[in-house]
Chain A
């Protein structure tokens, strides 16, 4: 069974996204520990990419800050290795296809397994292109996490049937970022997902308040938050860990209600 399942065993899951190396890797490590301490069930570690086409301005900024600080894929592998000494919750990488491909997809994915990464999210790899990564993920036992979008419609069943780890349901059109309201009919999407897979599903894109998280988790298995956390890092820099910790506590508390 996928280690990622564990994230969904403590009630509704709270999933946090953090861009590695923003503002530096020491802060990233502290943020991860604070997140775990305050109830995060799974953490998506973003490996920065020069041209993150699925991200809104806030996460684009985090990618740019991390890269200008000189962070590399190898540095991030070392960070995960270090975190795995005391962190046991599921960890997944979220990055872009070229980061994996240029490293050598097999070398990248086998390293993921060695250092204790449970899954991989590649927002620019849709169902039609997943095979070249999926075959390696299967070989090494890393879950390739699929995304479903508001426009997926007739594709939902096909994607859900082959889902691994968890399903990432994109709440809204457009890129990552906070939204005042989410208007997609997500219940209908989740219904089709449930008919086609037992893999848990979590909703992300646009969620920032405890109320939104609660609402999204009520119709799925969890809520994913990135931009709101990155905004705290942007604002507080090295002092961000405690702010992120108390924010995550408020979010997880909402999911427990």
Chain B
């Protein structure tokens, strides 16, 4: 699927300043060594199982299934991981790799704060220094996560440039990395950026689909008919899809954030509204204007509020292996409330985009069919924002 330059079809690549080239080459060499190292894999598995709480449950959502009266619905509970989201899978892998490479400092970008919290957590666990870049706008939207990161010993730097959201946090983390490389690893949080990040992050997140497959075979003796996950950069989605890519009978569905609608400018649906471009180290689809200026994007979900998508998703879209749909703020909020009420599970507003699509398609599917929805994170962090969306004056 990938060639040596980290291409997924036309997408991917290494569009970064010369200053960073030896750093990404060093990272690639280290990763290629350690991914096959039994000791590294033993340590990582132990961190996954003992620290993060893996494997995460594959839960049969009986009430939701009965209510929708169509496909049988399973929830992949990444929200039950330590730190409350799938982000920890990638972070434990990268932090362990960075440590093996002799790095003593982790830097990261964060949108909703989940990746920042996960990175701060891994840094605390492994005794590493940690600096997290977060759009100033997001530090306000997710103030509690800022406190969490600081509690865990990380320094949080609010980014004021550009639109002061996730894309600017990525830009600032890249700038910081060019100024301090020798002791610092950039712990990128999604399947994006220059090669080898999209591959490293995917491989660490692929544990999600590996477990789904094993659990589904044990529970149902067959593969699911569809796997649904939300997509910003796309790390939980690629993790949920990866081990099913060769199983052509399994539909893979990524749910983008349409914000106020894909016919408005207040959207973050990259596949639906973007075109091919080059940004943040990769060729992929980006929301941009006619002159290639990256568009300000919007979603109620800070974690999906990004103008691009990982290059492997761009490729899966191009070849038709995965489907990408758009879910509006309103649909996501309805799904957030629905899952809370129906199953007693409060999903992250990001994951609620995947739930929303399942609410649309499950009733149209046969009762013998099976859908897996990845609940990528827990929704406690979103309660105040959703309450405000519904007109209640609640602040964290």
Q: A residues touching B (Cβ–Cβ < 8 Å)?
A: 49-51, 53-54, 56-57, 60, 64, 67, 72-74, 96-103, 123-129, 146-155, 159, 170, 173-175
Known: A129-B14, A152-B18, A175-B179. Contact between A51 and B171, CB under 8 A? yes
Q: How far is the CA of A154 from the CA of B13 in the complex (A)?
A: 21
Known: A57-B161, A151-B19. Contact between A97 and B175, CB under 8 A? no
Q: Which of B249-302 contact A (CB under 8 A)?
A: 275-281, 286, 288, 290-294
Q: Which of B131-168 contact A (CB under 8 A)?
A: 161-162, 167-168
Which residue on chain B has the smallest CB distance to residue A54? Answer: B17
| Least CB distance, A136 to chain B, in whole angstroms | 15
> Which of the listed residues A74, A103, A151 has the most CB atoms from chain B within 10 Å of its own CB?
A151
Q: Does B180 contact A (CB under 8 A)?
A: yes
Q: How many residues of B contact A (CB 8 A)?
A: 37
Docked-complex contact A173 and B290, CB < 8 angstroms: no
Q: How far is the CA of A149 from the CA of B16 in the complex (A)?
A: 12
Docked-complex contact A102 and B291, CB < 8 angstroms: yes
Which residue on chain B has the smallest CB distance to residue A60? Answer: B161
Known: A173-B178, A175-B175. Contact between A98 and B279, CB under 8 A? yes
Docked-complex contact B17 and A124, CB < 8 angstroms: yes
> Which of the listed residues B171, B275, B280 has the most CB atoms from chain A within 10 Å of its own CB?
B171
> Which of the listed residues B21, B167, B168, B291 has the most CB atoms from chain A within 10 Å of its own CB?
B291
Q: B residues touching A (Cβ–Cβ < 8 Å)?
A: 5, 13-23, 161-162, 167-168, 171, 174-175, 178-181, 275-281, 286, 288, 290-294
Known: A155-B22, A173-B181. Contact between A51 and B294, CB under 8 A? yes
- Residues of chain B within 8 A (CB-CB) of A152 are 18, 21-22
Docked-complex contact A50 and B22, CB < 8 angstroms: no
Main SS of chain B's interface residues? mixed
Q: How far is the CA of A205 from the CA of B173 in the complex (A)?
A: 19
Which residue on chain B has the smallest CB distance to residue A49? Answer: B293
Known: A72-B291, A170-B19. Contact between A128 and B171, CB under 8 A? no
Q: How far is the CA of A149 from the CA of B20 in the complex (A)?
A: 9
Which residue on chain B has the smallest CB distance to residue A56? Answer: B175
Docked-complex contact B291 and A126, CB < 8 angstroms: no
- Residues of chain A within 8 A (CB-CB) of B180 are 173-174
Docked-complex contact A50 and B162, CB < 8 angstroms: yes
Which residue on chain B has the smallest CB distance to residue A97? Answer: B278
Docked-complex contact A149 and B175, CB < 8 angstroms: no
| Least CB distance, A155 to chain B, in whole angstroms | 7
Among the listed A98, A159, A170, which residue makes an inter-chain contact with B294, where contact means beta carbons less than 8 Å apart? A98
- Residues of chain A within 8 A (CB-CB) of B161 are 57, 60, 64
Q: How far is the CA of A73 from the CA of B289 in the complex (A)?
A: 12
- Residues of chain B within 8 A (CB-CB) of A96 are 278
Docked-complex contact B17 and A123, CB < 8 angstroms: yes
Docked-complex contact B14 and A101, CB < 8 angstroms: no
- Residues of chain A within 8 A (CB-CB) of B288 are 98, 102
| Least CB distance, B96 to chain A, in whole angstroms | 24
- Residues of chain B within 8 A (CB-CB) of A128 are 5, 13-14, 21
Q: How far is the CA of A49 from the CA of B162 in the complex (A)?
A: 11
Q: How far is the CA of A64 from the CA of B171 in the complex (A)?
A: 15
- Residues of chain A within 8 A (CB-CB) of B15 are 97, 124-126, 129
Among the listed A64, A74, A102, A155, which residue makes an inter-chain contact with B277, where contact means beta carbons less than 8 Å apart? A102
- Residues of chain A within 8 A (CB-CB) of B290 are 102
Q: How far is the CA of A53 from the CA of B161 in the complex (A)?
A: 11
